[in-house]
Amino acid sequence: GELLDLGVTVYRYHKGFLHSKMVLADDEVVSIGTANFDNRSFYQNFEININIYEKDIAEKFREIFYDDMKTSSKLLRSEYSKRGFYIKCKESICRLLAPIL
């Protein structure tokens, strides 16, 4: 909700579950992997990303990203606000536990 309030666009992927994260910079550099950008991912879970500095490969990942967006739907603030009590409770508990997870 905080991200939506700040103007971030969120899409829901409908063809399964994507755990990977991708950063594409200037259509020439791509970083892709499973690591979240926090200490736990880097030092405790030993998650990694690969950084590729090749424009042709970065362009292919850009195409994959936009293909994935075709099977995704934009999350609207009004839709997010309609979450049920159970979901809101789970979110609150997760937020409390996040620092130790």
Using one digit for the tens of pLDDT, what is the confidence trace for 35-46? Answer: 887 777 777 777
Listed residue (56, 68, 95) closest to 11, CA to CA: 68
Q: What pLDDT does 101 receive?
A: 66
Mean pLDDT of the chain: 89
Confidence of residue 20 (pLDDT cuts 50, 70, 90): confident
Q: Indicate the pTM of the whole model.
A: 0.71
Residue spans of beta strands (DSSP E) within 5-99: 11-13, 21-25, 29-33, 49-52, 72-74
Q: What pLDDT does 85 receive?
A: 95
Q: What is the phi/psi pair of residue 50, to 5°?
A: -115, 135
Confidence of residue 81 (pLDDT cuts 50, 70, 90): very high
Give the integer Cα–Cα distance in Å for 28 and 53. 6
Which residue range forms the structural domain that includes residue 87? 2-100
| Number of domains composing the chain | 1
Please enumerate in sequence order all residues whose Cβ is within 8 A of that of 50, keeping only pairs 6 or more positions apart, or say none: 31, 32, 33
Mean pLDDT value of segment 64-90? 93
